[in-house]
Amino acid sequence: MSIQESLRIVPKGDIALLEWDLVGEKVNKLSSPVMVRLKEVVEELSKSKYKAVILVSRKQKIFIAGADIEEIKRINSKEEFKRVLDQAHSIFNALEDLPIVTIAAISGACLGGGCELVLTCDYRICSDSPDTKIGLPETKLGIIPGFGGCVRLPRTVGLPASLDIILAGKAVDGRKAEKIGLVDACVPASQLEARAMDMAREKIAAGGKKRQKQFSPSGLMDKFMHSFAGKPVVFSQARKSVMKESKGFYPAPLKALEVIAKTFGMSNRERALGIEAEGFIEVATTAISKNLIDLFYMMEAVKKQTGVEGKEVKVKKVEHMAVLGAGTMGGGIAQVAADRGVAVRMKDITNEALAIGFRHASEIFTKMMKRKRLTKFDYDAKMSKISGTLDYTGFQQMDVVVEAIVEDMNIKKKVIAETVKHVREDAIIATNTSSLSVTEMAEAHPNPANFVGMHFFNPVDKMPLVEVIRGPKTSDEATATIFELSKRMGKTPVVVKDGPGFLVNRLLMPYLIETMFILQDGMSIEKVDRWYTHKFGMPMGPYRLMDEVGLDVCYKVVKIFRKALGERIEIPKILEPLHDSKRLGKKSGRGFYLYDEKGKQLSVDKSIYAELGLSAPTDPLTERECLDRGVFTMINEASLALIEDHIVNHPEDVDLAMIMGTGFPPFRGGLLKYADALGTQHIAQELEIYASKCGPRLKPSQPLANLAKNNRKFYS
């Protein structure tokens, strides 16, 4: 079948349906061949006798997903981008200028170029299906809307609503789209096409007048924000918000803001689109955009994976799940499972502990209600999915049991051995351990093929990563089932081999240890933290992160690492005084920083230096050394985990895990993408210099040295 079948005109009397159904693809997208075909269709419609045309999709859950991202990734020259954008503008302008009424009947995802396409239509109507999402996610890919979105969306919905969508890369559902004026009506999915036909007939009967909905401010505040005096205030506040969120590391939102400020109210369409195109080209040719697009592809790849490479694996359907341990972590796990329709039974040894789990889940759902993401009906339905017990009642129907009790190997093994007696033979038991050996724990299970690690990160509702830890005897089915369950719970799973710290903590702990050495070298806590956040792009600095994790937990994990990895893990002299100080971090209100009763960070606790046996900081190290020693330590450890110990199989696994599990700056592409950008030779040479100055812990590992010797990259 040809591309002609992907976009076809279907006559309905004096109304035409323009049906989108991209042949051989699961989604409709605006690839180059599709754009050529769209140009032909628009030309045909311009010469036809139809009085109205309705754009509809024949894909399930998809209207138009957007432009072809693979094409964007491949283009590197400004000239090629200009050619593509000029062509798109020409086609979209022709659609906007059709002499007949144009209506978009939207059901499913209408994103990026798809949203920009429907903005050229006179009218838009959408379905109330939960699959309907309309928006412009381009800034998440390091680009800006380039097919007219920066020009047409503000004219359609006004400045505040358009800035909210464009700068954050948001999509809105049908009801919200109707509320802000992005669509003219939101109707039941079953009635969408019929209502669109009715709308077309009404417009034809009224004379078939063209009309692109132009935003008209109402209310004093709305009128002020669109006035000569108010617009600078709106753009100034938007810029402050972007800088607060991005710290200036992401140029796309700032460029989009600049384009909108220049073009809003401009009557010359071609000039406005030209300004947008210039802005698009400027950001699309950056390494940041390429890195964010690579991250998008990593995320898309996970959707297609099973967690087991190279073979077909049967995945157990999980409808009933138990959680052992109903504290904050257990309640968080129960909440994300119930949110996705899984029936969850929490078990603990006291009613008080169960109450903590229920309360935590309820608090998360309540916040979702306050943000209009849930109705009261939804809240009740989701909370009803969670039940509690003090014994093993109901465990016979469980497909999966997630153990989330205290981090003590003997207690965990005892509970696992007990739980096995109360579940079906084919039930999978998963441990949520963050540091203990899954292999050793599996000894408590009579059938270790059905035992696996499922490491959630705290807080569960916010942290997207789940490490699926495969022990030597874990079956393909158990691995694939937990991998699929993680995705269903809205998480990004990465399969890792059992080993000290698994993947994320294995890379994170040497980094945190090295920053303790940096503290010993005379650096101030706030300066180093600020460099890591405001100069490198981490979500929080290392000392603030240790406070968040818990200084008692950090102490315990350092000891585990020392025992597992030997002298390669050098213990900082401040570790024992830090432990003896009884500072626990945020949870006790006192760590490297002080915190108020609500857990809000206050200032650095200056008394900590003396307690650790340190002089007042003199900040003798450079910004570069502080950043290099911490980050290069992670890269060094990653080379061992990936190349020597095969904790994961691909550099993409490392990068995805570090971005999703630690917030490693996405704009840098991930830890190993960053390493490749610097060059393994450069990193190895710098580590040699730091090792000679600071000690053998910083000496490049053999795998890293081998890469450097041959000038090879991790992604090679």
Half-sphere exposure of 275 toward its Cβ, with a 13 Å CA cutoff?
Answer: 19
Q: Is 21 exposed, middle or buried (0-12, 13-18, 19+ CB in 10 A)?
A: middle
For residue 305, which amino acid is it?
A: Q
Cα-based distances in Å from 315 to 303, 306, 310, 431, 709: 14, 8, 15, 19, 43
**CA dihedral in degrees (609, 610, 616, 617; nearest 10)?**
-20
Q: Please, which residues have CB within 8 angstroms of residue 539's CB and are 6 or more apart in sequence?
A: 533, 663
Whole-number Å distance between alpha carbons of 2 and 178: 36
Residue 4 DSSP SS3:
helix
Strand partners, 403: 324, 431
3-state secondary structure 527-539: HHHHHHHHHHCCC
For residue 479, which amino acid is it?
A: T
Nearest to 6 by CA among 16, 17, 20, 18: 20
Strands 109-111 and 62-64: parallel
**DSSP class per residue in 258-306:** HHHHHHTT-S-HHHHHHHHHHHHHHHHTSHHHHHHHHHHHHHHHHHH--
Q: Please, which residues have CB within 8 angstroms of residue 456's CB and are 6 or more apart in sequence?
A: 329, 332, 333, 404, 432, 463, 466, 491
Residue 469 DSSP SS3:
strand
Half-sphere exposure of 303 toward its Cβ, with a 13 Å CA cutoff?
Answer: 7
Whole-number Å distance between alpha carbons of 47 and 186: 31
Looking at 455, 534, 579, 682, which residue is catalytic? 455
Whole-number Å distance between alpha carbons of 463 and 504: 13
Token pair 């432009």 is at which residue?
67
Tokens of 315: 């995945």
Residue 580 CB neighbour total at 10 angstroms: 11
DSSP summary character for residue 70: H
Asked if 226 is an active-site residue, the reply is no
> Phi/psi of residue 201, each to 5°?
-65, -40
| Alpha-carbon 606 to chain mean position | 36
Whole-number Å distance between alpha carbons of 656 and 643: 17
The catalytic site residues sit at 455
